[in-house]
Chain A
């Protein structure tokens, strides 16, 4: 709160300290929404510029981290909405590694097999591509609830949505994500079958 007050009074070093403390969290959160490094940095920059101009509205009732998380969420959602780009994810767009990853996962979906870092990278990239095909709201709830194990209440606090809206959004987002992955798997299986014959 003191830092916020000093920054509000025009103390630049106080604001720099706020950035130093909270930028890892802001970056971590923004990187959930964007795969491109430049976009993550643009979002984080916008978050801190907004935070500086809206310091007056921070009354210290909640935590600075929570306040910045809300700003980050809104900024990322707005950026996603304004980009209005929802590419169609097709099997032909998948790399060989991605197809192989999906096939392997399907083969041992329930097993806790050790995953190499290389495979993790492939999975992260594929996840990003699948998420890009969903709406910004779907991406948000899936990332928070299924990815970060946030509760519905947490999402309500971050987004300002009603509890029922969060639940409905999560339900629909899960279905759409599952359908997208299922579609990829089905096409992948066909491709593999064609390759074998």
Chain B
């Protein structure tokens, strides 16, 4: 140890972390090495400065707590008003978009005159087409059944009459 400089030892561990054996080795080395002695003394002063700094008492202001609570309430109010503002802005955007949609729908027939009638006719046609087909199919089905029954009956009665005549 006495051949080795102790500066790195001081810097890597700090004075308070040094063991008794390390300190006595440092002292032994310092007797021969003026640079290390100087570094050790400066390190001691540095630690002393820090300790003195930390020993300074600090008395907070008696109004500290009141001040913090006042700030806290201010922040809460600001947050609440911000939230309300945000809600109102969202509601406003929704309402204006609804008004715009209604207005657009109301204006549409005047801007494009043929749109309403055409679309109405096509809808009606679609409905009617379906209904007419249904009716026709039903009717044709019924007619076919009735005709065929009638034909059968007619055929049967006609053949019976022919038998009777004979």
Q: Which residues of A contact B (CB under 8 A)?
A: 12, 15-16, 19-20, 23-24, 27-28, 31-32, 37, 40-41, 44-45, 48-49, 52-53, 102, 105-106, 109-110, 115, 120-121, 123-124, 126-128, 130-131, 142-143, 145-149, 167, 170-171, 174-175, 177-178, 181-182, 185
* 16 examples of A-B residue contacts, CB within 8 angstroms: A12-B69, A15-B69, A41-B64, A106-B41, A123-B53, A124-B53, A146-B47, A147-B53, A147-B54, A148-B54, A178-B11, A178-B39, A178-B42, A181-B42, A181-B45, A182-B42
Contact yes or no, A147 B58, CB < 8 A: no
- A110 is contacted by which of B41, B54, B71 (Cβ under 8 Å)? B41
Q: Mark B68-92, 1 if CB is under 8 A from A, else 0.
A: 1101100100000000000000000
Chain B facing A: main interface SS: helix
Shortest Cβ distance from B39 into chain A, in angstroms?
A: 7
Which chain A positions have C-beta within 8 A of B38?
Answer: 182
Contact yes or no, B71 A45, CB < 8 A: yes
Most chain-A Cβ atoms within 10 A of its Cβ — which of B38, B46, B60? B46
Report the number of A-B residue pairs with Cβ-Cβ less than 8 Å: 115
Q: Knowing A124-B52, A181-B42, say if A146 contacts B69 (CB, 8 Å).
A: no
User: How many residues of chain B are within 8 Å of chain A by beta carbon?
Assistant: 35
Which chain A positions have C-beta within 8 A of B72?
Answer: 12, 15, 48-49, 52
Chain A facing B: main interface SS: helix
Contact yes or no, A146 B15, CB < 8 A: yes
Which chain A positions have C-beta within 8 A of B141?
Answer: none
Shortest Cβ distance from A99 into chain B, in angstroms?
A: 13
Q: Which residues of B contact A (CB under 8 A)?
A: 10-12, 14-16, 38-39, 41-56, 58, 60-61, 64-65, 67-69, 71-72, 75
Which chain A positions have C-beta within 8 A of B58?
Answer: 27-28, 31, 37, 40
Which chain B positions have C-beta within 8 A of A124?
Answer: 52-53, 55-56
Contact yes or no, B14 A174, CB < 8 A: yes
Which chain B positions have C-beta within 8 A of A142?
Answer: 50
Shortest Cβ distance from A27 into chain B, in angstroms?
A: 5
Contact yes or no, A149 B56, CB < 8 A: no
Which chain A positions have C-beta within 8 A of B52?
Answer: 115, 120, 123-124, 127
Contact yes or no, A44 B64, CB < 8 A: yes
Shortest Cβ distance from B40 into chain A, in angstroms?
A: 8
Which chain A positions have C-beta within 8 A of B15?
Answer: 146
Which chain A positions have C-beta within 8 A of B61?
Answer: 41
Q: In the complex, A143 Cα to B14 Cα: how many Å?
A: 12
Contact yes or no, B50 A49, CB < 8 A: no
Q: In the complex, A177 Cα to B69 Cα: how many Å?
A: 39
Nearest CB in chain A to that of B15: its residue: A146
Q: In the complex, A142 Cα to B60 Cα: how many Å?
A: 24
Which chain A positions have C-beta within 8 A of B69?
Answer: 12, 15-16
Which chain A positions have C-beta within 8 A of B42?
Answer: 178, 181-182, 185
Contact yes or no, B46 A174, CB < 8 A: yes
- A147 is contacted by which of B39, B44, B51, B67 (Cβ under 8 Å)? B51
